[in-house]
Amino acid sequence: MSGTVRATLERASPARIARRPSRPQLIKASITTVLLLFAFFALPELLSLYYVDTMTQVAVYSMVTLALGLLVGRVGLFSLGQAAVLAIGAWAAARLLFATTQPYPLILLEAGLITMVAGLVIGLPALRLRGLYLALITLMLAGGITVVLATVNFPNGGHGFLGYNGSLLHIPPIRRPSIAASDPAYFRYSMVVAILMFALVLAHIKTRPGRAWAAIRQSEPAALAAGINTTLYKLWAFALASFITGVAGGVLAGAIHYLYSINFPTQDSITLLAVTLMGGVFSLWGAVVAGFLYQFLPALLNNWGVSADWLIILFGLGVLQVLTTAPAGLADQFPRDMARLGRLLRRAASRGDAP
C-alpha cells in the first residue's frame, strides 16, 4: 500500500505533468502555425478576388460554427438560432458603423457585447430546456428575429434609432477599417479576428469553465456534486457563443458592405448546425472545416456552374455519415484516414521492394 502511494507520488512529481507539450502536441502546433502563416501571407496573393472574398466568408462562418460547436460539443446545448444571432451582431455593428466614427475593433467588441446581452435574454429562459425542446425554442426565436428584421430592416445610413431610410437613392456602403479597405487586406483582418476568437475559446476550454462544461455535458449530477453552478456555466457558454457570433456579424457587415434581411433566412441556422456537426464539435479544427463546407464549397460549385442547392442533399448525407460512423466529425476523421492511407501506401511500397 505505502509502496503504491510512494510510486504514485514519484510518478506525480511536478516534472511528470509539467506543462511541457508532448511530441504530438508540438507537431500539431507547428502544422497549425505553418497553415495560418500560409493563409495570412500567401493565400491572398495566390487567389483571385472571388476566392479571397470567399475566404473572408470562411473566416466569418468559422467563428459562427466555432460558437455553435462550443454550445453543442462542449456543453451539449443544441441551438438552432445561430443565423439569427449572427444577424443581431451584423445589425448592431452596422448601426454603430453608420452612427459613429469609432475604430473598427471597438465596434466589433461592442457588437459582440450587444449580441451577448441579446443571447443572454434568449438563453435565460431557454436554459430550463434541453435537447429537442431547446433546439425547437431557439429555432422559433430565430424565426421571430428574422420576421422582426424583415420589418425594421438593416441600417442603411438613415436616421433615428433604426437607421433605416427606405427612400434613400444612394445607399452608402458599410465602412471597413482604414487599414483593411481592400479585399485581400480585409481577409487578413477577418483572419486575425477569427484567430483571436479561437484563442478566446481555447483559453476557456483549457481552464475552469472548460472543466465545468465537460462535467455538465457528461453528467449534471456529477457536476453539481463537484460544486459547479450548472446554470451559471451554461449561461456563460451561451454568453460566450453569442459574443463570438456577434463579433462575426460585425466582420460580416464590413465584408459585404450592404446588409439585407434576406441574407439571414431561418433555414441557415439548420444548415449551420449540419456543417458544424460534419466538421466536428470536439475540436477547434472542426469549426474551420465547417466554415469551408458552408462557404467555400458553394463558391466552388458556383464557379463551376453547378447549383449550390445540391449541397443541401450532400450535407444531409454528410450529417448522416458523421452521426453514424464518425461522431467526432471530419476534423477528427480526416487525419485518421490519412494516417491509415499512409500506412497502406508504406506497406504496399515495402511489398513492392521485396523480391
Partner 1 sequence: MIEVSGLTVRYGGVTSLDAMSLTFEQGTCGLIGPNGAGKTTFFNVLSGFVRPAAGTVRAFGLDLLSMAHYRRARWGVRRTFQTEQAIEELSVFDNVAMVHEHSRQGGSRRGDVLDAIAFAGLDADPAASVRTLGAGQRRLVEVARAVVGRPRLVLLDEPAAGLPDEETSHLAEVIRRIPEHTGALAILVDHDMSLVSACCTTTAVLDFGKLIASGPTAAVLRDDAVIRAYLGVA
How far apart are CB 228 and partner 1 at their closest, in Å? 6
Q: Give me 179's grid cell.
A: 487599414
CA distance 171 to 217: 47
Which one among 1, 132, 169, 313 touches partner 1, defined by CB under 8 A? 1
| # chain residues binding partner 1, by CB under 8 A | 28
Query: Quick check: 17 binds partner 1 (CB under 8 A)?
Result: yes
CB-wise, 8 or 350, nearer to partner 1? 8
> Minimal CA–CA distance to 248: which of 193, 174, 290, 169?
193
| Residue 15 makes contact with partner 1 by CB under 8 A | no
Q: Of 209-268, which residues contact partner 1 (CB under 8 A)?
A: 211-212, 214-215, 217-219, 221-222, 224-230
Between 183 and 332, name the residue whose CB sits nearer to partner 1. 332
For 43, 96, 142, 213, 276, the CA distances from 75, given in Å and listed in that order, are 34, 32, 20, 5, 14
DSSP string, 125-166: HHTT--HHHHHHHHHHHHHHHHHHHHHH----S-STTT---T
Q: Applying CB under 8 A, does 7 fall inside the site for partner 1?
A: yes
- Looking at the Cβ atoms of 7 and 179, the one nearer to partner 1 is 7
Least Å from the CB of residue 23 to partner 1: 14
Residue 16 binds partner 1 (CB under 8 A): yes
Kindly report the backbone phi and psi dihedral angles of residue 309, in degrees, each rounded to the nearest multiple of 5, phi listed first.
Answer: -65, -25
Nearer to partner 1 (CB atom), residue 233 or residue 294: 233
The SS3 call for residue 277 is helix
Q: Does 175 bind partner 1 (CB under 8 A)?
A: no
Write down the least CB distance from residue 116 to partner 1, Å.
Answer: 24
Residues 6+ apart with CB under 8 A from 284: 66, 69, 198, 201, 202
| By the rule CB under 8 A, 130 interacts with partner 1 | no
Q: Does 287 bind partner 1 (CB under 8 A)?
A: no
Quick one: residue 57, left, alpha or beta (phi over 0 = left, psi -120 to 50 = alpha)?
A: alpha
Alpha-carbon span 289 to 327, nearest angstrom: 15
- Binding interface with partner 1 (CB under 8 A): 1, 4-5, 7-9, 11-12, 14, 16-17, 208, 211-212, 214-215, 217-219, 221-222, 224-230
